[in-house]
Structures are given as C-alpha cells and as structure tokens.
Amino acid sequence: MILKEYRVDEQKGLKGQSNCGMPNAECGINQAKLRTPNYELRTSAIHSPQSMGMTLIEIIMVMVIIGILSVFLIPKFNLDYSSEAALNGAAYLIASDIRYAQEFAMANRVSKTVTFSTNPPGPTVYTFTPTNSFDPSGQLPSGVTIISNFTITFNSLGEPTTGGDGSVTILGGGLTKTVSVVNYTGKVNIL
C-alpha cells in the first residue's frame, strides 16, 4: 500500500495514515525500514544474498585466471593455420600482381607479361616483362611454391593476348589454390 502522509515524532515513532485508513502496521508497511537511515539500507543491500553483481576486482581476477589457462592450453591444441594463411595470402598476392600488370599495360600503352614458372629463377618467384621500378617483387611467402607454368600478357587495352582462360596453381601446407584469368576481360578469380 502507498503511504499518503506520515510524520515522525521523536518520542512516539512513526505516525501516519495509509490509503486503507488503518494504522501503518496493519496495511503492511514495515515501520522498521522507514525508520532506518538510507546508508543502512544501502549497506545491507550490498551484503545481502539477493544482490547479483560482481565487483571490479572479481572481474579482473577471472580475466587473469582465463589468461593464465589460455597460455598453457592453447599450445596443446596445436592449431597451426600459418601454412593455410600463407597460401591464401599468396593467392591474393598473385591475383593483385596480375591486376597490376593489366593496369600497367593500359596506363602506359604497352604490353606487360607476368611469367610463373617452376624452372629457375625458382618456383617461389614470378617475373614481369618488361621490367619497371614499380613492379612488385614477385616473391611468394615461405612454404608456398608454384606448381604449374603460366604466362599471361596484357595488351594496351587490358585484354589478355596470351594466357587468357589460363591459370596458375600454387601449393602450400598440402593445400592448393588456383588463380585464373578470364579470356577477353582479364578478370582474375581465385579458386
């Protein structure tokens, strides 16, 4: 019930009238809580079993324990994604460099060739012809090798004159990726 009005008399305690017209105690109002100062209510609520919060120190301790456990448990799972990541990175690098050769040919109105070979200079390097100081290095990440020979030449319009509908395949960590070039448009796809 809602208390309409009340007054506190120092000697007699709480007096007032509730909505039901009966004395406060009969309407279910806990007079002890009304007499308790606010600080006592707050401190008793913090320590009550009904409070469901966590302190900052508890949260930090849980994070520290999880961190310590992860240092010891993660190496046990032997999660090695580095070879797969290197292979995916190499595929995107090759696709990007083929697009570079196409854009270079169009911008400079010359033919530009990219050669992928399993022969020297090695199965981890591809070359650009004619060479330019702006050409990428053509170096594949460690553990990734070229396993198919492929040459693509773009004319000054960006069309593949040699190697259209061809592809280069790379190997890394027992997995393979194929980078193909669409004939006529020179669009590069990673499969």
55-87 pLDDT, tens per residue?
899 999 999 999 998 888 776 665 566 788 888
Q: How do residues 134-166 score in pLDDT, each as one tens digit?
A: 888 888 888 888 998 999 999 999 999 988 889
Phi, psi (deg, nearest 5) at residue 95? -60, -45
Domain count across the chain: 1
Within 8 A by CB and 6+ apart from 163, the residues are 150, 151, 152, 153, 181
The rounded mean pLDDT for the chain is 78
Q: Does the residue 119 lie in any domain?
A: yes
The CA distance from 126 to 86, in Å, is 16
Q: Does the residue 67 lie in any domain?
A: no
Pick 129 or 6 by higher pLDDT: 129
CA distances to 43, 101, 102, 103, 186 from 157, rounded to whole Å, are 79, 12, 8, 9, 10
- Residues 30-35: what's their mean pLDDT? 52
Q: Does the residue 19 lie in any domain?
A: no
Domain that holds residue 163: 84-190
The CA distance from 32 to 168, in Å, is 84
